[in-house]
Chains A and B, each alone.
Chain A
Amino acid sequence: MALLEVDDIRAGYGDGPDILQGLSMAIEQGKTYCIIGPNGAGKSTLLKAICGLLHPREGNVTFKGEVLNKLRTDEILRRGISFVPQDRSLFPDMTVKENLRMGGYILRDSKELEASIKEVLVMFPILEERSSQQAKTLSGGQQQMLAIGRALVLRPEVIMLDEPSLGLAPKIAQFIFDTIAQLKDAGMTIILVEQNARKGLECAEWGCVLDLGINRFEGPSNTILSDPRIQELYLGSQKQDRQEETV
């Protein structure tokens, strides 16, 4: 059985329509998955439905055999799934250290928390440098590092990242992808949603293409990368890609 299973789920916001329209996916331990697809396909919605920010209206999300549907976010965090949202979601007036501390909010053991925070600061030396600075004073890339670091404080088994390279210059984005590779080497299960489909698929083993709320294609990421149909529909031609990278 897979570590995390998403079984034919339907989900949406408020009383709005279903964004996810019967989506299924299986996540195996230790692998890295990249989810791509057009805007509005439901990529962020999927991640939110897994980590408890949204509750599925139909279908099940199962982690290690346990159904997560009705659990609160803190309960899901406790079970080992962390989420790095698209807008980073930091606490602007809190310092880097305080943000990391908030990452470990559900932990009661302060010693464990301090140890985790130290590990994160070792992983991101630039955050160590700025540990007493307010989060709002950090640059885009530093904020993204902080957001990832905050998710790591709980030493999760599964980490989900929603468009981590969004708005970052290519060099900094590359650093983020390198960090993801580091996490992969450490044995973490990673679910990545990326607009920069090429880069995202490159660091993953398995790719899923979401469209109109369902899982349309999935397969080994290099298959998806080289499939001409998907290239045309979702990855953009070679020329377009070059233009995107200079932004």
Chain B
Amino acid sequence: MSETLVSNEVKPMRTTESLKKPSRRQKVFLAVLLLLLFTYPLMQFVVGGLNYWLHMLLYTFMYIAMASSWNIIGGYAGYTSLGHNVFFAVGGYFTGVLLVYFDVSPFITAPLAGLVSMAFGLLVGLISLRTRGPAFIISTIALVMLVKITFDNWDYIGGTNGMTMPPILSISLDLVKFPFYYYMLLIAIGAVYMSYRVRHSKFGLGLRAISQDEIKAEVAGIPTNYYKILAFGISGLFVGMAGGIWGYYLTYLKPNIFLLIILAAQLVLMTVLGGKGTVAGPVVGAILFIAINEFFVANLGFTELNIVATGLILALVLIFFPLGIVGTLRERGKLPPFLDWD
């Protein structure tokens, strides 16, 4: 019989997940994976015609980066942001303006775009994070609308028509996707690594405490305000960088494509599907979501049924598997090591 008293007012925190160091097998797995990803584009010279796959992969890298970043504020800290594509837009327009008006390549300015997005996040966080729960979610929605209307009416950046980017003409068609592929891969690696480091830090532990019970965390001495705002800011870093590259890749920027709420919805869905609050979750979720999306587009075309499908899948996951794939596997003790990075 245990001597510990379980007070009926305090719910015990889930300390069943231990923060272990990655095993040798895991490190080997990661090394092999990265090797494959880095060398894949070289297949272009062997087989050729891989542009579709390069596109899909870099698109996936981008979403892996964004979902992992969202996870820091939405998963670790428990503050659902439905306006994360604002960072994407800020980053995209930042590099866009520097390219169109000052001829500086986004490949150079993208990291700066990331920092600008982060600064933007810190500033906005100062205001938004004064609210909790649903009010915070609302403030993020209001943020997207605010930014969208502002961009729509800002002639310097093209208003509703946006800006066109000069394409890279100096590279052959075979190689044109290469720089974007590698850049996005690096961004994805950066974002996932950051997510991993946050998870295994005192900062990450503090965020988790905040997500479980903010008042108790504050009482325990955790600087909740500082942590929350920091989390929000760094969650914008890689998203902004990705946005900076994506606009260049698309060769145009328009408020309508960057600032639609459906994009925020997809980010949320990916992370929840994969497993909110875990390191591997957003990665798994992003890959799965893009695969499912491609499947639906191939069979249903670009109809509104895609939106229905997104909503339906999100609803089903929320009702039946709220912990996502990684979370549910872990709870049942069936999590394979290559997904266990927490």
Contact = CB atoms under 8 A, between A and B. Distances in A.
Contacts, number: 22
Interface residues of A, number: 13
B39 interface: no
Contacts of B1: 212
B245 to A, nearest CB: 45
Contacts of A16: 6, 11-12
B8 A45 contact: yes
Interface stretch (A34-42, A88-96, A170-178, A223-231): A34-42
Contacts of B169: none
B5 interface: yes
A41 B6 CA distance: 8
B7 A40 contact: yes
A19 interface: yes
Contacts of B6: 16-17, 19, 40
B10 to A, nearest CB: 9
Contacts of A42: 8
A38 B11 contact: no
Interface string A157-186: 000000000000000000000000000000
Contacts of B7: 39-40
A12 to B, nearest CB: 8
| Interface SS majority for chain B | loop
B5 A38 contact: yes
Nearest to A42: B8
A212 B8 contact: no
B201 to A, nearest CB: 29
Nearest to A48: B8
Nearest to B3: A212
B5 A39 contact: yes
Contacts of A13: 8, 11
Nearest to A43: B8
A13 B6 CA distance: 11
A62 interface: no
A44 interface: yes
Interface string A5-19: 000000001101101
A40 B11 contact: no
A128 to B, nearest CB: 35
Contacts of B12: 16
B1 to A, nearest CB: 8
Contacts of A40: 5-8
Interface string B62-102: 00000000000000000000000000000000000000000
Interface in A22-51: 38-42, 44-45
B205 to A, nearest CB: 22
B244 to A, nearest CB: 45
Nearest to A12: B8
A142 to B, nearest CB: 25
A39 B6 CA distance: 9
B11 A212 contact: no
A38 B7 CA distance: 10
A45 B205 CA distance: 31
A17 B7 CA distance: 11
A42 B5 CA distance: 10
Nearest to A45: B8
Interface string B1-39: 100011110011000000000000000000000000000
| Best-surrounded residue of B1, B5, B12 (most CB of chain A within 10 A) | B5
A44 B5 contact: no
Nearest to A11: B8
B152 to A, nearest CB: 43
Contacts of B11: 13-14, 16
Interface string A190-227: 00000000000000000000001000000000000000
Nearest to A14: B11
A19 B5 CA distance: 9
A38 B6 CA distance: 11
B7 to A, nearest CB: 4
A180 to B, nearest CB: 24
Nearest to A20: B8
Most buried by A among B1, B7, B8, B12: B8
A46 B134 CA distance: 34
Contacts of A45: 8
Contacts of A212: 1, 5
Given A14-B11, A40-B7, 9 more contacts: A17-B6, A38-B5, A39-B7, A40-B5, A40-B8, A42-B8, A44-B8, A45-B8, A212-B5
6 contacts: A13-B8, A13-B11, A14-B11, A16-B12, A42-B8, A44-B8
Interface of B: 1, 5-8, 11-12
Please provide the 9 A-B residue pairs with the shortest distance between their CB atoms, ordered closest to farther: A40-B7, A40-B5, A19-B8, A45-B8, A17-B6, A39-B7, A40-B6, A40-B8, A13-B8
